[in-house]
Amino acid sequence: MQSTTASDEFLKGIWKENPVFVHVLGLCPMLAVTNSAINAIAMGLATFFVLVGSSTLVSLFRNLIPRQVRISCYIIIIATFVTVADYTLQALVPVVHKELGAFVPLIVVNCMILGRQEAFASKHNVKLAVADAFGVAIGFIFALFILGGLREILGNGSLFGISLFGPNFEPWVIMLLPPGGFIMLGLILLFFNWLKQKKDNLVEQLATKELV
Amino acid sequence: MDNLIWIFISALLVNNFVFSYFLGLCPFFGVSGRLETALRLGLASTFVMLITAICTWFLNTYILIYAPYLRLISFIVVVASTVQFVEMVIKKFSPALFKALGIYLPLITTNCAILGFAIFSTNRGYGFGEGIIFALGAGGGFTLALVLMAGLREENELSSIPQVVKGTAMSMIIAGILSLAFMGFSGLFSS
Q: Is B123 in Cβ contact with A106 (below 8 Å)?
A: no
Q: How confident is the model at residue B190 (pLDDT cuts 50, 70, 90)?
A: low
Is the per-residue pLDDT at A86 higher than 50?
yes
Exposed/middle/buried for residue A94 (C-beta within 10 Å: 0-12, 13-18, 19+)? exposed
DSSP B6-47: HHHHIIIIIT-TTTTT--SHHHHHHSTTSHHHHHHHHHHHHH
How confident is the model at residue B143, as a pLDDT?
A: 92
ipTM of the complex as predicted? 0.80
Instruction: Look at A143 and B2; give whichever has higher pLDDT.
Output: A143
Considering only CB atoms, which residues of chain A are within 8 Å of chain B? 24-25, 27-28, 31-32, 71-72, 75-76, 79-80, 82-83, 86-87, 101-102, 105-106, 108-111, 114, 174, 177-183, 185-187, 189-190, 193-194, 197
Residues of chain A in contact with residue B149, where contact means CB-CB under 8 angstroms, are none
Q: Which of A192, A41, A102 minimizes the C-alpha distance to B124?
A: A102
Residue of B77, B112, B123 with shortest CB distance to A109: B112
Distance from CA of A189 to the nearest CA of B (A): 5
Domain count within chain B: 1
How confident is the model at residue A49, as a pLDDT?
A: 92
Residue of A102, A114, A181 with shortest CB distance to B110: A114
Exposed/middle/buried for residue B126 (C-beta within 10 Å: 0-12, 13-18, 19+)? buried
- Per-residue pLDDT tens over the stretch A25-40: 777 777 888 877 888 8
Residues of chain A in contact with residue B112, where contact means CB-CB under 8 angstroms, are 28, 106, 109-110
Is the per-residue pLDDT at B189 higher than 60?
yes
Is the per-residue pLDDT at A106 higher than 80?
yes
* Span B134-150, average pLDDT: 91
Q: How confident is the model at residue B191 (pLDDT cuts 50, 70, 90)?
A: very low
How confident is the model at residue B116, as a pLDDT?
A: 85
Q: What is the pTM of this model?
A: 0.83
Cβ-proximal residues to B14 (8 Å cutoff; 6+ apart), any chain: B20, B182, B185, B186, B188, B189
Q: Is A193 in Cβ contact with B164 (below 8 Å)?
A: yes
Q: Is B22 in Cβ contact with A32 (below 8 Å)?
A: yes
Residue in chain B closest to A178 (alpha carbons) equals B20
Distance from CA of A9 to the nearest CA of B (A): 25
Provide the domain limits for residue B141. Answer: 2-188
Q: Which of B71, B41, B110, B76 minimizes the C-alpha distance to A117?
A: B110
- Per-residue pLDDT tens over the stretch A113-159: 888 888 888 888 888 888 888 888 888 888 888 888 888 888 877 77
